[in-house]
Amino acid sequence: MKKSIYGPRFGCALQGALDTLIEIDQVVPVIHSIAGCGVSNAIAHRTGKVDTGRINGMAVAGTNVFEKQVIFGGGSRLREELKNATKVYKGELFVVLNSCESAMVGDDIIGMTNELSDQGFQAVHLENTSGFKGIAYAGYEQVFTAVISQLASKPDADSAGQEEHEKTVNILGILPGTDPYFRGTLDTLTTLLNNAGLKVNRFFGTPDGVAQLQNITRADATLVFSKWGYVPAKKLEDQYGIPFLYYPAVPVGAEQVERLLTELDELLGLDQDRLQALIAEQRQRFAYYYKGIRQTLISEFVFRDVAVVGVESTVLAVGSFLRQYMGANIKAAIVTDAVARDDVDIPESGLRELAEEVYETSDTGEIRRTIESNGIEVLLASSLEKPVADLLGIPFLSISYPVTDRIILSKSYAGVDGAVSMIEDYVEIVT
């Protein structure tokens, strides 16, 4: 198996952690690295033409270490950077990111971060975000595991017994930056869970993101919607006894929404009247729109051999819905975030039951060759695969990062409304 990658489609752990942090309001990330580690990722995100986060691109604090610090160590450079960052930025939480360079030099980022904490600032260190330690998605995982260890409040023993205690769930596994739909997906899930009578720690796209991070250990349950949320959820369960429900992908369509709500009810005991009304409303809503397209599915004959390319959670979400409601044959599922892990045992995703063939690669060349050799009739992938769709003359829809041919602000394929969007987009390209 080749180790090098043609046409990279994601960054490193540092960049994934940065993607995560800049989307949490009032977080001030500080990169301890040479110049350019964050900017390089910001350039990548220009593909989407949508601004990311509050402090982004060249506005992110970075020590920009120079030759002298590489030779003699950059600890004191980080110390002065942190001290001054507190005087320049408005913000509540400072997070220090380690890099390849500082890890190889052996700078003490933990000690420097602790110095800041000792002075009364909220500060977290991410010592494992060196680019050579993992891909972008691992950066998300590291942010949440670090927050749980270093920042989160201890659960309040009294609150559990209070009758008026409002049940709260954490949402993990929806990744900013590398999931083009994360805003809309979080909105969809938050609305759904609020309607079921639950409070939600969504962390992103909310003014109280830092408070939600602090309260992550006080939630009643965690919902996980991709494998990248599994480790922090397990940590919450192991250390704080917070149960979690693991889904390898977001729910798409009424049936999956109902399953989610039912399992949540079994776990937390929801208000039955409210729950049943919500499930009925979701069913009715989906049925109404699906009826509108049902005849077209036959008359225009949309049953095609499809390839889906993207991270596992996207391939599953899109693939399983298209199979069940559009009659698509998922001929090739190409997963771009497959990583061999021996540190954790994450449950099987079920992808192998969904697709005729499952491929695990992020190499753009291999992906193109796989598509070319599989007799694919419809391609749902990233914009990097558009040229091969053009070459084959087959319908194409960009569904995974990077997406360059459309602007995605609140669009999502999650929930019932997301399923309807999926139907619209898919039928439009195949008919």
Q: Name the site residues for another protein (rule: CB under 8 A).
A: 2-15, 31, 34-41, 43-47, 51, 54-67, 69-70, 80-81, 84-85, 87-91, 100-101, 104-105, 130-133, 135-136, 365, 383-384, 402, 404
Least distance to another protein from the beta carbon of 73, Å? 12
Give one word for 201, left, alpha or beta, with left for phi > 0 and alpha for psi -120 to 50.
Answer: beta
Least distance to another protein from the beta carbon of 79, Å? 10
Q: Closer CB to another protein, residue 130 or residue 370?
A: 130
> Helices 37-44 and 13-22: crossing angle, nearest 10°?
70
CA–CA distance, 77 with 62 (Å, rounded to integer): 10
Q: Closer CB to another protein, residue 283 or residue 386?
A: 386
Rg (CA), the chain: 22
Residues 6+ apart with CB under 8 A from 329: 303, 304, 305, 306, 323, 356
Least distance to another protein from the beta carbon of 394, Å? 19
Least distance to another protein from the beta carbon of 204, Å? 17
Residues 6+ apart with CB under 8 A from 299: none
Q: What is the DSSP letter of 311?
A: -
Least distance to another protein from the beta carbon of 132, Å? 4
Q: Closer CB to another protein, residue 3 or residue 291?
A: 3
By C-alpha distance, which of 60, 68, 53, 9 is closest to 35? 60
Least distance to another protein from the beta carbon of 70, Å? 5
Q: In what order do the strands lie in the sheet with 378-382?
A: 357-360, 329-335, 305-310, 378-382, 396-400
Least distance to another protein from the beta carbon of 68, Å? 9
Q: Closer CB to another protein, residue 402 or residue 418?
A: 402
CA–CA distance, 220 with 7 (Å, rounded to integer): 42
Q: Closer CB to another protein, residue 3 or residue 154?
A: 3
Q: Closer CB to another protein, residue 20 or residue 130?
A: 130
Least distance to another protein from the beta carbon of 209, Å? 15
How distant is the alpha carbon of residue 261 from its chain centre?
21
By C-alpha distance, which of 121, 139, 123 is closest to 131? 139
Q: Closer CB to another protein, residue 46 or residue 341?
A: 46
Q: Closer CB to another protein, residue 6 or residue 301?
A: 6
> Helices 415-430 and 272-299: crossing angle, nearest 10°?
0
Residues 6+ apart with CB under 8 A from 84: none
